[in-house]
């Protein structure tokens, strides 16, 4: 009985080593699509799955919907056997299935696992013995074993169980692991293959197979004792950043009152060769991870009668930054004898960080809504977005404005410091500039307010 399970295990491992294992990536967004392309580069046959027919059609015609991934790269992948589908019955053809679906917060700032549970229920009927399922979506410790595994076991209809110990019953087992995504959109200094991959399997066989799979596309794998340890690793990484950004955001407000340039202070502090890592203030947090992940852990901690006070305080400080920006914009306009109500304000940059086409949790969206609530006429410019329509938490319906005549705006508010902007020209042409990103560093002008 044990030998059958071991034989299935070795068959999958041999397929992985030979690059013949059929790999499926569920969720073809900012995490899933780059991951799929990494496997394609290493010669694996890859199938991408997504419920968004727009994405499926784009990929199957050799087109990309992510700026940093050119269409030529998609076309090359298609030539190597990559295809996309919304048909989950294809799961039965795959040897390894990697889940990269969103894990947002709901309207009450509690974890929304609907994408994970929906995906698990869609996968389960098509599972077969010997398959490896890996969850990459960021979530709270316990999700893999408490949510994903029960759904997969209950829904497959074939009595398949996750192999928790070496050697499963009659080989009627499959394998499950958690390996957190570590994508950093816009970061061109570190190759994806050089980012170590943390892996926590449900049992030793799952860990071994997941490490073998990821070891083909990453230069280093980092096994940990359990999926929960891997889940907590991801949260620690992002909470560390969240807390430190909250620190500099709070100091930014204090330094403003004291007449001190915090950016100058940070540049001086980071000359220390030990014990300091530089973080920079801004208009608020954006992206799928840092604004969201701390709340996943805070929610889970309450099940253990534990209150994560530092984490929640950091989230509160960062969450207030868009309000701080609006108040400073109002003050700057007032100094120019102009009220916020009725003023024409141009937002420069709506992406959550520079040089990317990602709006997720962008503080610019909150700032736009806050300004509108105050009666401001708001416009935006962003080279990555011709228009901003509706999202999970916003409904803006705006089109990108031109930069041809900046003098027609009462204020230009820099929210995202894209490299393509000519800041010297902006300082020269705009009546008033409120800079939340230190984009105007080194430019001296009476019309610049550093916020």
Q: Residues 281, 408: one domain?
A: no
pLDDT value of position 167: 55
Range of the domain at 333: 322-451
Quote the pLDDT of residue 2. 46
- Give the model's pLDDT for residue 152: 98
Question: Above 90 in pLDDT, residue 170?
Answer: no
Q: Does one domain contain both 280 and 154?
A: no
pLDDT digits (tens, 9 = 90+) for 332-351: 999 999 999 999 999 999 99
Phi–psi pair at 191, nearest 5 degrees: -65, 145
Q: Which residue has the tokens 């083909």?
A: 216
Residues 252 and 220 in one domain: no
Residue after which a domain boundary falls, among 280, 295, 319: 319
> Which pLDDT tens digit goes with each residue over 291-321?
898 999 999 999 999 999 999 999 999 999 9
Domain boundary (290, 319, 348) is at 319
pTM over 0.85: yes
User: Mean pLDDT, the chain, as a whole number?
Assistant: 94
| pLDDT greater than 90 at residue 172 | no
Q: How do residues 362-409 score in pLDDT, each as one tens digit?
A: 999 999 999 999 999 999 999 999 999 887 777 899 999 999 999 999
Both 262 and 274 in one domain: the answer is yes
Catalytic residue annotation: 289
**Is 50 exceeded by the pLDDT of residue 1?**
no
Q: Is 233 found in the same domain as 221?
A: no
Of the residues 272, 294, 319, which one is the last residue of a structural domain?
Answer: 319
For range 232-251, the mean pLDDT: 97
Q: Indicate if 181 and 297 belong to the same structural domain.
A: no
Pair (409, 296) in one structural domain: no
* CA dihedral over 399, 402, 407, 413, signed as positive or negative: positive
Q: How many domains does the chain have?
A: 3
Instruction: Determine the Cα–Cα distance for residues 383 and 171; give it in Å rounded to an integer.
Output: 54
Residue 432 to residue 138: CA distance in whole angstroms: 41
What burial letters (b/e) apply to 272-310, b meaning 16+ CB within 10 Å? eeeeeeebebbbbbbbbbbbbbbbbbbbbbeeeeeebee
As a whole number of angstroms, the distance between CA 269 and CA 263 comes to: 10
Residues 75, 205: one domain? yes
Residue 37 · residue 354 · CB < 8 Å: no
Q: For the domain that residue 134 is a member of, what is the CATH number?
A: 3.40.50.720
234 and 309 inside one domain: yes
Please write the tens of the pLDDT for every residue from 14-45: 999 999 999 999 999 999 999 999 999 999 99
| Secondary structure string (H, E, C) spanning 391-427 | CCCCEEEEECCCCCCHHHCCEEEECCCCCCCCHHHHH
260 and 238 assigned to the same domain: yes
Do both 119 and 37 map to the same domain? Answer: yes
Say if residue 355 is in the same domain as residue 439: yes
């Amino acid at each position: 009985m044990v030998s059958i399970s071991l034989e299935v295990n070795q068959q999958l491992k041999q397929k992985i080593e030979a690059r013949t294992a059929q790999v499926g990536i569920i969720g073809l967004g900012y995490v899933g699509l780059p991951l799929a392309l990494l496997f394609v580069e290493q010669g694996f046959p890859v199938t991408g799955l997504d419920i968004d027919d727009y994405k499926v059609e784009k990929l199957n015609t050799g087109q990309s919907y992510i700026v940093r991934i050119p269409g030529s790269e998609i076309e090359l992948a298609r030539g190597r056997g990559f295809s996309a589908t919304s048909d989950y019955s294809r799961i039965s053809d795959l040897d390894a299935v990697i889940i990269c679906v969103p894990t947002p917060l709901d309207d009450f700032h509690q974890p929304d696992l609907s994408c994970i549970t929906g995906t698990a229920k869609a996968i389960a009927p098509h599972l077969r013995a010997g398959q490896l399922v890996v969850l990459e979506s960021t979530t709270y410790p316990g999700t893999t074993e408490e949510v994903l595994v029960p759904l997969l076991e209950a829904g497959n209809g074939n009595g398949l169980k996750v192999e928790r110990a070496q050697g499963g019953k009659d080989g009627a087992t499959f394998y499950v692991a958690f390996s957190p995504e570590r994508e950093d959109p816009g970061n061109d200094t570190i190759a994806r293959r050089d980012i170590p991959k943390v892996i926590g399997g449900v049992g030793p066989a799952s860990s071994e197979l997941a490490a073998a799979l990821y070891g083909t596309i990453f230069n280093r794998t980092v096994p940990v004792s359990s999926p929960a340890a891997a889940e907590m690793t991801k949260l620690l990484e992002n909470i560390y950043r969240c807390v430190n950004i909250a620190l500099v955001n709070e100091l930014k407000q204090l330094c403003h009152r004291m007449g001190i340039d915090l950016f100058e202070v940070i540049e001086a502090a980071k000359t220390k060769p030990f014990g300091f890592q530089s973080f920079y203030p801004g208009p608020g947090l954006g992206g799928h991870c840092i604004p969201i992940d701390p709340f996943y852990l805070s929610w889970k901690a309450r099940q253990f009668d534990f209150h994560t006070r530092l984490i929640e305080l950091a989230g509160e400080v960062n969450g207030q930054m868009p309000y701080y920006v609006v108040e400073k914009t109002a003050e700057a306009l007032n100094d120019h004898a102009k009220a916020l109500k009725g003023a024409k304000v141009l937002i420069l940059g709506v992406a959550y960080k520079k040089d990317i086409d990602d709006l997720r949790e962008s503080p610019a969206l909150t700032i736009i809504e806050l300004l509108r609530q105050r009666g401001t006429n708001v416009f935006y410019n962003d080279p990555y977005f011709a228009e901003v329509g509706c999202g999970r938490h916003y409904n803006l319906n705006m089109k990108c404005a031109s930069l041809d005549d900046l003098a027609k705006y009462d204020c230009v508010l820099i929210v995202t410091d894209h490299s393509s902007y000519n800041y010297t020209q902006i300082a020269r042409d705009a009546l008033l500039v409120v800079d939340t990103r230190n984009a105007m560093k080194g430019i001296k002008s009476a019309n610049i307010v550093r916020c």
